[in-house]
Structure 1
Amino acid sequence: MQTRNQPYISLTIAGSDSGGGAGIQADIKAMSATGSFACSVITALTAQNTQGVSAIHPVPQSFVEDQLESIFSDMKVDAVKIGMLSDADTILMIAQILKKYQPKAVILDPVMVATSGDVLLESQAISSLVNHLIPLADLITPNLYEAQVLLGRDLNAFPKSNAELESTANALLSLGSQGVLLKGGHMDTQDSTDVWVTENQIEYFSKTRVVTTNTHGTGCTLSSAITSYLAQGLSMSESIRKAKEYISQALVAAKNYQLGQGSGPVDHFFMLKA
């Protein structure tokens, strides 16, 4: 890993989770815990807890742009993670800002499907995501439900094997990103297996599945850890491997937590208790 006098800067562009388990809050925790300085641009405010989301208040597009300009014009952002977005125009604006400032790494976690299976983005916004942001991404990190939405497939017919997982990841790659990390956490298997594909590479990342209900924010946490490691100069493969190890340990550390009455968060700072 490189060393320098100034911290490596990771930027998260996402929605706020008032419960602290996902979204901007999880991103900042994960980036900080894995060694980079976290900046944030908030795209939406949510009223949510461990049991779900009760209200969403989108941040006006002009103010999202103001936040982005304030950071990029002042700081050297090493890597960007994009999470929850609200509408097609905001997505297009973010794409234009990224083209203007050209950070060295862009990770897109397409937050599009709620745990309940409800699609969170309107079709126009999904089209904007596919047309404008995915082609700028070095990596997209969809779960199985999000993959089905991006590909226009049945939400109830997602991959059931590693072979189908790989095939779906390659279909996603055709949307234009440099790489796809398709997360297999929703598959009914003993291990939690993700597959990373690029035009020239295929690599599997597997960890023993942690039996717990405290899984809120795992996708946000994983993508933010990958972003943090990329910001520090690690390769994509090594960043994914280290992030997968990090989220696995965070799940283990929090598996018996009772924080709220629903799906609780992971322990982002488990290493401080060692």
Structure 2
Amino acid sequence: MPTPRAAVIHDLSGFGRCSLTEVIPILSVMGVQCCPLPTAFLSTHTGGFTGFTFLDMTEELPKVAEHWKSLNLRFDAIYSGFLGSERQIGIVADFIRTFREPDTLVVVDPVMGDDGKPYQTYTPAMCAGMAHLAELADVITPNLTEAAFLLNRDYGDLLDGGRALHDEGALRRLAEELSLGGRRSVALTGAALSPGQTGAMCFDARTGRAEAVQTEFVAHPLHGTGDVFASVLTGALLRGDSLRDAAALAVEFIHDCAVRTVEQDLSLREGVDFEPLLGRLIGR
């Protein structure tokens, strides 16, 4: 059986675990050929570092896509993450339309913000563009903030003043609403059914069912966990896992990596210490 091949459209940071420095090793160890399409190169990631360099790769994206098209390359998955401009969002949408085939898995991690606020590089136009891009996805992996942006709703109203944070029914309805009437699957991250827990609420478009996966919350801010989650999820889906099982594996893996990072008193701004635990993803 041929090795699954994924086109991964993310930024690349030379230092700090996030985006492609997490996506490539995770997908590779899970048996997926990773074909990176970098949207930008940074000297470090932007969480906790200052003075970082930034090289915009927007002009290269369509050139790479055109070359890959001339080679008649085919992808079992297309997986996108953080994008640097409104124009890049349109380019990625064109890439999906060009390379998608009936059995291609399209995963969009609609990276836009956290804690109720957009990232400083994201404008309202970019948030609207990301919502349109996500309409092309088979699976989306938003956090609660990004869910509000995708639905064009106020973050506070979405959480009902915080009352919906641990309400399983409310989180299930939110995942179902994000599915656009069952047209796409959803893994809503940061969905905790009770204090001291964290995890995901999943809506599987194939079964029409919503299920939660939970683990113990590690009370430290760690960078790059969203990229780890979406990457493990994508790798597991490509090897045939159900959405619920794929999300459960991702939640479990992040928890173990977070515990390792905290127990060793490692620098939190460098990202979650995942490399020594990659073997846990082999053959699962």
Match of 2:48 in 1: 51
Structure 1 residue 40 corresponds to structure 2 residue 36: yes
Structure 1 residue 26 corresponds to structure 2 residue 27: no
Match of 1:181 in 2: 187
CA–CA distance in structure 1, aligned partners of residues 53 and 202 of structure 2: 32
CA displacement at 1:113 relative to structure 2: 0.7
Residues 191-249 of structure 1, C-alpha deviations (whole Å, 9 max, x = no match): 22311124552232323224252621111111111112223344434433333333333
Match of 1:168 in 2: 174
Identity of aligned residues (%): 22
Match of 2:220 in 1: 213
Match of 1:92 in 2: 90
Higher deviation after alignment, 185-194 or 210-219: 185-194
Check whether the contact 1:110–1:140 (CA below 8 A) recurs between aligned residues.
yes
For 1:193, the aligned partner's letter is G
Check whether the contact 2:211–2:244 (CA below 8 A) recurs between aligned residues.
no
Gap change, CA 1:98 and 1:204, over 3 Å in 2: same
Structure 1 residue 127 corresponds to structure 2 residue 128: yes
Structure 1 residue 153 corresponds to structure 2 residue 159: no
CA–CA distance in structure 1, aligned partners of residues 185 and 239 of structure 2: 19
For 1:41, the aligned partner's letter is L
Structure 1 residue 61 corresponds to structure 2 residue 70: no
CA–CA distance in structure 2, aligned partners of residues 61 and 12 of structure 1: 15
Check whether the contact 2:10–2:19 (CA below 8 A) recurs between aligned residues.
yes
After TM superposition, the score normalised by the length of structure 1 is: 0.83
Match of 1:12 in 2: 8
CA–CA distance in structure 2, aligned partners of residues 86 and 271 of structure 1: 29
Gap change, CA 1:20 and 1:32, over 3 Å in 2: farther
What is the root-mean-square deviation in Å for CA atoms of aligned residues? 3.0
CA–CA distance in structure 2, aligned partners of residues 185 and 52 of structure 1: 28
CA–CA distance in structure 1, aligned partners of residues 203 and 50 of structure 2: 32
For 1:155, the aligned partner's letter is Y
Gap change, CA 1:43 and 1:176, over 3 Å in 2: farther
Tell me the number of residue pairs that the alignment of Structure 1 and Structure 2 aligns.
269
Match of 2:110 in 1: 110
Check whether the contact 1:79–1:228 (CA below 8 A) recurs between aligned residues.
no
Match of 1:138 in 2: 138
CA displacement at 1:270 relative to structure 2: 0.9
For 2:86, the aligned partner's letter is A
CA displacement at 1:110 relative to structure 2: 0.8
| Structure 1 unmatched ranges of 5 or more | none
Check whether the contact 2:197–2:214 (CA below 8 A) recurs between aligned residues.
yes
CA–CA distance in structure 1, aligned partners of residues 15 and 108 of structure 2: 22
Tell me: higher relative CO, structure 1 or 2? Use CA pairs within 8 A at least 6 residues apart. Answer: 1
Gap change, CA 1:172 and 1:115, over 3 Å in 2: same
CA–CA distance in structure 2, aligned partners of residues 116 and 109 of structure 1: 17
For 1:96, the aligned partner's letter is D
